[in-house]
Amino acid sequence: MRKKYIIVSVIAISLGIILAILPAKKIRTEVRPNQMLMELLDETRYMSVDKVAEYIVEQNRFGLLIDVRTPEEYAEWSLPGAFNIPFDSILSPNYEYILNQDIYTNILFSNGTTYSSQAWMLLKRKGYTNNYIMKGGLNNFITTFLTTQYPLESESNETFDLYQFRNGVRQYFTGSGEIPASNEQEPKNEIIIKKNKKKEDDVGGC
Amino acid sequence: MGPLTEFGILNHEGGILAAFIIGIAFGFILEQAGFSSSRKMAGVFYGYDFVVLKVFFTAAVTGAAGLLFLNYFELIDLSQIYVNRFFPPAAIAGGVIMGLGFIIGGFCPGTSVCAAAIGKIDAMAFVGGIIIGIIIFAETFPLFKNFFNMNPKGNIKLTELLGIKDGIFVLFFIIIAIVVFFVSSKIEKKVKKVEY
């Protein structure tokens, strides 16, 4: 065998031994601070209560409502079809298949937006996408659909359309004008999500 | 720092442009290495020319070791690299079909395009066959769908499947490559040379 091949082989094996000895590098999965800042400046993480109501009324199966309040609060009252993933369990591996996927749109909510925003930030730092916050939380949801006032005659058509929609949502929920006292729709506990951590790239061969 | 597209250093269009430039360089090097010759390519199956085996083994070893070192020095985040989904039955069937096509036609998909680009008629026919095959596969996909999706293993790497450290796997891979190089050189010396 030629000398040069022996030298190359020795170098290659030496590099291989170094790689085998080197400690496993900690894999960075969290979003970098500068990217996090950009995300926080972007208001698109919020979803309006009207949009959320649209998901509920249309029974859009691609929208998953996630209540991050405590199980006690959830048992007391929540939005129809909502899951309960308490804030202190948001990073539990049991819920990763729901929170880390790109098929369903996850809508996080709490009474206000404090807990849902904190949950969203934790998920964002983990690099999970497809999670949104219901703007204003349940308080805003109830206020919006219970206290909708009939618009003035001088208001625009869009305002009247919005009133009609909100009134329709109120009718959908109550038939009278009050938000129901408990979950009328069973949570979608049996959803099957194919885990898809990374986006599909073009793949090639030789 | 890398992958450049994942960290926003290159946008989507930039990524496509980079892929285009790398593709041209890849094709140029394939052609320069003689991979546009179907006889040379098929030589690996008949034992008179193992350059294909050597080149691809070298590329795999260089790529694997290089990526691990880059990851160690934080120049690339390996967790952000896309890993193909693994369906064992479909992968085995696809490998057999690909191997048969390789022996019969004398090209693999990439080298056929490379050879067609320099005007080789056999390669053009091969590329035509690939396109027809793709169309037939796409049109009849519902028939294969269940088999195609059978026993999914997810976006898994071999080291994850085997439960060993990446570095140890690469070390074994390097040793296997050196043994293969040595053995194939011995076979080449014993088999009658083919002029092409």
pTM above 0.80, yes or no: no
**Minimal Cα–Cα distance from B5 to chain A, Å?**
11
Percent of chain B with pLDDT over 70: 98
Identify the segments of chain A with pLDDT beneath 50. 177, 180-184, 189, 195-202
Contacts of A21 in chain B (CB under 8 A): 167
Per-residue confidence (pLDDT) for residue A167, from 0 to 100: 85
Pairing of strands A63-67, A105-109: parallel
Per-residue confidence (pLDDT) for residue A198, from 0 to 100: 45
* Residues A20, B8: C-beta atoms closer than 8 Å: no
- The verdict on B174 touching A (C-beta cutoff 8 Å) is yes
Per-residue confidence (pLDDT) for residue A22, from 0 to 100: 86
CA distance B50 to B194: 12
* Residues B79, A19: C-beta atoms closer than 8 Å: no
Integer angstrom CA distances of residue A201 from A40, B84, B98, B111, B153 = 27, 9, 22, 22, 18
CA gyration radius, chain B: 19
Nearest to B56 among A1, A13, A206 (CB): A206
CA gyration radius, chain A: 25
Segment B66-100, tens digit of pLDDT: 999 998 888 888 877 888 888 899 999 999 999 99
The neighbouring-strand residues paired with A133 are A46, A108
Identify the segments of chain B with pLDDT beneath 50. none
Listed by start position, the domains of chain B span: 12-190
Tell me the domains of chain A and their CATH numbers.
Answer: 33-145 (3.40.250.10)
Write out the E strands in chain A.
Answer: 46-47, 63-67, 83-84, 105-109, 131-134
Q: What is the ipTM of this complex?
A: 0.77
* Residues A24, B65: C-beta atoms closer than 8 Å: no
Per-residue confidence (pLDDT) for residue A148, from 0 to 100: 75
Per-residue confidence (pLDDT) for residue A181, from 0 to 100: 47
Contacts of A2 in chain B (CB under 8 A): none
Per-residue confidence (pLDDT) for residue A126, from 0 to 100: 81
CA distance B29 to B22: 10
Per-residue confidence (pLDDT) for residue B81, from 0 to 100: 82
The neighbouring-strand residues paired with A105 are A63
